[in-house]
Amino acid sequence: MDRACRLGRQLALRRTALLRQPALYRSTPSQRLCYSTEPRARPRLVLPDTYASLARRLLKRFLPRYQGPAIGRSVYHVCSTYPDYSSFWVTHCQLPDTFQTWFSTTSLYVWMAMVRIRADPNAKHYNQGLIDSFFRDAEQKIRASGITSGRIVNDTLKDLVSSFKGTVLSLDEGFATSDAVLAAAIWRNLVPVDDAVLQIDEVARFVRVQLARLDACDTAEILAGKFEFGPVINK
């Protein structure tokens, strides 16, 4: 009995203390039932100026490295779809329709795109993505020809890398010096035909015209692959 009395007094004291609380801390039944179905707004994270500046510097430094592969694929798509492979390079220049001919002529278009991209501060990452896409395509063509040996594929790719480096150096020298040096580079690397003087001259003029066209294009359009190469001979 005493225990029940003590429990009753405790409940009464708690009820009295609750009623003495300010109205600000008490909720009525109507208030308890009134709730919003709208999603609660998340607090906005605002970085201090020091951390924001550091984040911008990190993005500026590392973002081009991650953008390089995607940009390289976009640019290489244009380089690999030049319009007159069969009509000019195979037929007009009398080159055999082989993998080596495809690789040599595609190297020219890849090189022209690389020359234009060099004007960008992040050209190292973008051109590397372009070259990686080029050699990935070359590897697929090698395997599609029936070569399944990994050792043979790797040895072939090593030879192609050396050939591509030599082509780039020769074309760079010709572009920076004179049409005669450029024509000699084209003869050694692209059109190794003795009686193809006219064709070599046409390719040399084509290179100068295309590089001028690319230079007039906005860098963002180049990196997005929103450009195209014209035919070697305008009909």
d(CA 118, CA 61) in angstroms, rounded, equals 17
Residues 55-82: tens digit of each pLDDT = 555 555 556 778 899 999 999 999 999 9
Residues 94-146: tens digit of each pLDDT = 999 999 999 999 999 999 999 999 999 999 999 999 999 999 999 999 999 99
Residues 221-233: tens digit of each pLDDT = 999 999 999 999 8
* 175: pLDDT strictly greater than 70: yes
pLDDT tier for residue 152 given thresholds of 50, 70 and 90: very high
Counting residues of the chain whose pLDDT is more than 70, the rounded percentage is 73
Of 12 and 73, the one with more pLDDT: 73
